[in-house]
Amino acid sequence: MTENNKITSEIKSENLRARAILAAVDCGEYDAESSINELEELAKTAGAEVLATVIQKRPAPEPATVLGEGKIDELKDMVQRLDADLAIFDCELTASRIRNIEEIIGIRVIDRTMLILDIFAGRAVTNEGKLQVELAQLKYRLPRLAGIGASMSRLGGGIGTRGPGETKLETDRRHIRNRINKLEENLKELEKRRSFSRSRRKKDNILTAAIVGYTNAGKSTLLNNLTGADVLAEDKLFATLDLTSRGVVLPDGRTILLIDTVGLIRRLPHNLVEAFKSTLEEAASADIILHVCDISDEEAAEKAKTTQQLLNELGCGSIPVINVLSKCDLTKNNIPQTKDTVKICAKNGEGFDRLLKAISENLPESTKRIKLVIPYNKAGLTAKIRESGKIFSEEYTETGIIVDALADISIMNEFSECEEIQ
């Protein structure tokens, strides 16, 4: 069991529910109040009970302990008074800082990234998801092996234990690097398969829509409502991590594959972004993006900005985007609906028909619904339609085959001798 998984089991154990205090330093780089509120939601998602929060304004974090001397003593007193057993810092901590803080306050210390990694580890279901999380954990742990006290002692030292004189630290590093290499090889193989699937979809003219957005914005709920899927949809951060895709028929007769992607979060650990890059790249290859935003959230605009920044980094600038404003029943904001902005409410089913229509209107036109009479000497056209489109009905008459179909626009010129029925 890795160090991070041990933390997960401690936090999630029903018999040992962690009693946590949250700590942060406000250096003016971001909204510390909003960030620690988000940290509290993360801690609750992991199963911890949050007892109190501590924020200190400083020009820069204290090199040894993040918090200043007075504030770290205040945190120590709070730990003893509230009987806390876990401190969670809203920043990344080095191994030496973790050791220094633990020696002062006397309880276990983890940071924001470790907490997010633990949640991901508990939520990953598929083999790929588990590999991605383990890779991120190991990459995060590797530079933090230094300065971990007793584990630096040398292996062996007596009869039957003599070896090359390697330190335990060096052994751990080698094992972790070997495991990282193995995980990266496995993920590259899975990425090849995913890339092949994307190429196959393009070749088969399968339309795709990537559902993106901030964690807990309602992405999985949207997928469930549109397709009847049974994806876990909880009011928790990162309720689902693994890719899920389902098909839905649009009003114009076209079928589109909806792909639910991993939720985003501000200051998402770099290792997680790298590990889940192949998953997030589904958005970059989609025909259209559904950007889900919880409109009832006071920070909706800021969270939408976070999502848009990542989409830009992935090179999604030229892909049509529909802004899907979820939970519209919980707000009085009168935001106008446009061609690319749709309000929905999962509770009463409002807006889903309009959303499907908006997807049809915003998709690049690749097919067209037609109804025509195909002469019998051109009967081979029905096979061409089936190859790249869909035939809804066909009727054999004296004059020819009456076809109601969805045809690829690239073959429309071949119907010049056919009578179109209005």
Sole residue written with tokens 């276990």: 108
pLDDT at 68: 93
Q: Phi and psi dihedrals of 367, rounded to 5?
A: -135, 165
Task: Give the helix, strand, coil percentages of the chain, each rounded to 5.
Answer: 45, 20, 35
Q: What whole-number distance in Å separates Cα of residue 400 and Cα of residue 402?
A: 6
pLDDT at 236: 52
The neighbour count for residue 351, using CB atoms within 10 Å, is 20
Q: What whole-number distance in Å separates Cα of residue 378 and Cα of residue 373?
A: 10
Mean pLDDT of 144-153: 48
Q: List the alpha helices (DSSP H) in 28-167.
A: 32-45, 69-82, 95-105, 112-123, 127-141
**51-89 pLDDT, tens per residue?**
999 999 999 999 999 999 999 999 999 999 999 999 999
CB 207 within 8 A of CB 247: no
Residue 81 exposed, middle or buried by CB count within 10 Å (0-12, 13-18, 19+): exposed
Percent pLDDT > 70 in the chain is: 83
Q: Considering only residues 88 and 222, tell me which one the structure prediction assigns the higher pLDDT.
A: 88
CB 21 within 8 A of CB 51: yes
pLDDT higher than 70, residue 151: no
pLDDT higher than 80, residue 92: yes
Residues 6+ positions from 365 with CB-CB distance below 8 Å: 409
**273-301 pLDDT, tens per residue?**
766 666 677 777 888 999 999 888 888 88
Pseudo-torsion of CA 272, 274, 279, 282, nearest 10°?
130
Q: How confident is the model at residue 365 (pLDDT cuts 50, 70, 90)?
A: confident
Q: What whole-number distance in Å separates Cα of residue 190 and Cα of residue 131?
A: 10
**240-277 pLDDT, tens per residue?**
555 677 888 888 888 888 888 777 777 776 666 766 66
Sole residue written with tokens 């991605």: 132
**12-27 pLDDT, tens per residue?**
444 467 899 999 999 9
